[in-house]
Structure formats: structure tokens, C-alpha cells
Structure 1
Amino acid sequence: MNSAQRNTKPVRFLEGERLYLRPFGPEDTAGYYEKLFHPEIRRLTGTRQAFTIDGVRRYIEDKSGSPDTMLLLIALSDDDQIIGDIALQDIDYVNRNANMRIAIGSDEHLGMGYGPDAMRLLLEYAYGNLNLHRIELQVFDFNQRAIKAYEKVGFKREGVQRDALYYEHRYYDSIIMSMLEDEYRAKYHQG
């Protein structure tokens, strides 16, 4: 890597006050791979699979090039530190809906409002630029912090998939939440 490449600031695709969302670059693969083995992230997402670095690289390349997925990193505005990732996936342009997921990758950044901030940035883009109508997500019932954050952003509980996850000798429910474009506009674009 030459000095010009080292001094290049990351692209800021969607920018807020405290953080921004940006596409993955080849330099992000190793860090993303490591976070996939963080015990708390694995528990909160119900992840059981072991990954390889090559598999993660292919996943990032496939998702980054797919028209039905937006896979982005969450970075702090002041120092460009990566704190998580967020995705809009299974984008259906005919029915105007998609699924959203988010993961904040370190304990030190949890509970600071970064997740809701990142979600609002992506929701603004999804409703304002992609012309989506409905965005849904799923969260396991034991993840009360995430449920509160999603409700704060404006997601509403829609249903429950009972005993949807078996993890560490127990079954857990999966809560389906969604937000419609008019609900988003009423909350964030009043007046």
C-alpha cells in the first residue's frame, strides 16, 4: 500500500452527526471475520456456524454486488472506528419491502444510541431514495435492549414465531417487527 492509499479517508455513504455508514472494502474482511466469533454477537444473532476467512470474503463480495442487498459498515465520525454493520436485505422492488439487520460489534459501544442512529440513516435512504414501503426485522425475545432500540426508532411488534431458535439448551421466540413508510414519515418528517 502506498502513502496515498493510507491517507485516503473512507467513503461516507450515509452520514449522520455521530456516525456514518460505508461500504465494505477488502481491508475490512479480517475485522469482520473476527467479530463473527464474538460470543455475545453469536448469542444475540443465534449464530452457530463456524466461518472461514475465505467464506467471509466471498459473502462480502456477493452481498456487496447484489442488487437486493445493502451491506454497510457503521463507523464513528470522529475517528473512523468501525463499530458494527447494518444491512438492508431481500429488497423486493416490486412489493417495496425489505428486511433489516444490525449488529454493534463491541460491548463498549452498546447502549449509547449508535444502533438507532445507524438505523435511522438507513431507513431515511430506504424510504426516501429506494421508495420502499415496508421494512421488517426479527429479534429474539431475550434481546430486550434491541427490542427497546427498535421500538424507539419506530418499529412495531407484528407477531411472534414461537420457539424459533434453539440455542444453548433452550428455545426462544423470534419477534417480528416492522415499520411502514407512512409511520416513518409521521415520526421523522412532521410538518
Structure 2
Amino acid sequence: DYVKFANVLLDLSMRQNGKRDGKGAEAAELEIPRRKPKPAVQSLPLVGERVKVRAFDRRDLGLVRRWLEDPHGRYFLLSRTTARSLDPEELLTRKDSVVGVITLLDGSPIGLLAYLDVDRTQRKAELRKLIGEPEHRGKGLAHEATRLWIDYGLSTLGLRKIYVNTLDTNIRNIKLNRELGFKVEGLLRDECFFDGRYHDIIRMALWADEAETEA
């Protein structure tokens, strides 16, 4: 009941944000598409209509560091509990991380996807996403790439639960998460201290059994 109540409140909040943006309630209304049945086991690269997702390797480090210096990307590797940022090179050796590079169909890299804190016993992980190249933001590429990554997590990695932790002020990211099928689990008050103040974190999750049964 609490989760349902939280999701209703989130919808109302986003409608209000839509009105303040001058888009009206209708534009802010969220339509959550039902997911397809769980796909067959896949391997990288993943190929969509406009993007691919390939494995992350050492050759990407310079580009990734540039993306993380951008204000839009600075939170990609920030721990939501310790406020410590991982070094991209750590992702090459950590056994609890799986990282993919988003590219255009011609192979040009534009962003990152990651599963952090992969718990293979509990079969859950935290999802992170970033479009690093500014000219490719706002075009739906993150949505397409993240859908591929979710399917990869459910099928190939065998995840039972995928969760995201996002700042409560990041309405755009929250909306994208809802469109991808994530539901609010709760609000973590004053969870993380950075930029001189404490921030609230909204925890959202997607469950494999729900993703498989929605057709």
C-alpha cells in the first residue's frame, strides 16, 4: 500500500512540475508501457534501432573521464551513500560491476550504462545511465539503450531485481525510470551529503517477475 501511495504522490508531483514548465498536465502525464516477455540470453554488443551497447574497456577511460567532468555526468559514479566517486579504472577490475558503452550504429561512443554492486546471490544490482555527449541528449537514445541494458540484466545476468537511486529533484530522470517500468520503493531522507548539503534520494526498482508477466 505504501508503494502504491508513493507512486501516486510521484505522479502528482510530476504533473505539478509539468504545469510549472508550461507544458500542462497532459504533457506531464506518464504512460508506462508494458514490457515484453523476458528475452533470450544475449551477449554484447546489444543492437537496437538507433544505438548499440558494447563492452567497456581500457581504451574508453580517457573519454569516460571527460564525460564525468561535465556537470551532467559528475554523479554517474557517485556513491549515493558515501558520496565517494569511483575512478573509472576501478570498473575494469571490480567483480561487482558490469559496464557498457552506448554507441551510435556507426560505433561512435555517446554514453555509459552500468550495473553496480551486483549481488549474484540475491540477484540484484543498481543501474546507472549517462549520455555523455551533449548533442545526443533529449533524443530518446538513453531510453532505447537502457531498455537493451535492462533486458541484458534480466536475461544474461539473471537479475531478479534492478534498482535505481536518484535525486528527488531530478524529475527528468525519474520520469525516464517510470517509463522504463521502475516503481518507487521509498524516499531516503538526507541520504547523501555533497555540494555542501544533504540530499534526499528516491529509490525505484523493477522486478523480473513483473517484467516477464506484463505483455
* 3-state SS, counterpart of residue 178 of structure 2: helix
Instruction: Report the CA distance between 1:171 and its aligned residue.
Output: 2.9
Gap runs ≥5 in structure 1: 1-10
Question: Please, which of 30, 40, 52 is the counterpart of residue 20 of structure 1?
Answer: 52
Paired with 1:44 and 1:130, the residues of 2 have a C-alpha distance of: 21
Paired with 2:85 and 2:181, the residues of 1 have a C-alpha distance of: 34
Taking a change above 3 Å as real, the CA distance of residues 173 and 183 of structure 1, as seen in their structure-2 partners, is same
Instruction: Report the CA distance between 1:141 and its aligned residue.
Output: 0.9
Question: Please, which of 162, 169, 177 is the counterpart of residue 204 of structure 2?
Answer: 177
Paired with 2:153 and 2:78, the residues of 1 have a C-alpha distance of: 26
Q: How do 1:34-73 residues align onto structure 2 when only pairs under 5 Å count? A: 34-42=66-74, 56=88, 58-63=89-94, 66=95, 68-73=96-101
Taking a change above 3 Å as real, the CA distance of residues 167 and 50 of structure 1, as seen in their structure-2 partners, is closer
Residue type at the aligned position of 2:104: L
Instruction: Report the CA distance between 1:60 and its aligned residue.
Output: 3.7
Paired with 1:27 and 1:46, the residues of 2 have a C-alpha distance of: 22
* 3-state SS, counterpart of residue 29 of structure 1: helix
Residue type at the aligned position of 2:119: D
Residue type at the aligned position of 1:72: G
Identity in percent: 32
Instruction: Report the CA distance between 1:131 and its aligned residue.
Output: 2.2
The match for 1:81 is 108
Two-structure CA RMSD over aligned residues (Å) = 2.4
Instruction: Report the CA distance between 1:86 and its aligned residue.
Output: 0.6
Residue type at the aligned position of 1:62: T
The match for 2:12 is none
Q: What number of residue pairs does the alignment pair up?
A: 170
Taking a change above 3 Å as real, the CA distance of residues 95 and 50 of structure 1, as seen in their structure-2 partners, is closer
Residue type at the aligned position of 2:55: P
Question: Please, which of 125, 130, 141 is the counterpart of residue 114 of structure 1?
Answer: 141
Provide, for residues 20-47 of structure 1, a one-character-per-residue CA deviation record: whole Å limited to 9, x for no partner.
1111233211111111111222267768
Answering whether residue 72 of structure 2 is matched by residue 29 of structure 1, we say no
Residue type at the aligned position of 2:203: I
The match for 2:33 is none
Relative contact order, higher structure (CA 8 A, sep 6+): 2
* 3-state SS, counterpart of residue 39 of structure 1: coil
Residue type at the aligned position of 2:101: L
Gap runs ≥5 in structure 2: 1-42
Instruction: Report the CA distance between 1:163 and its aligned residue.
Output: 1.5
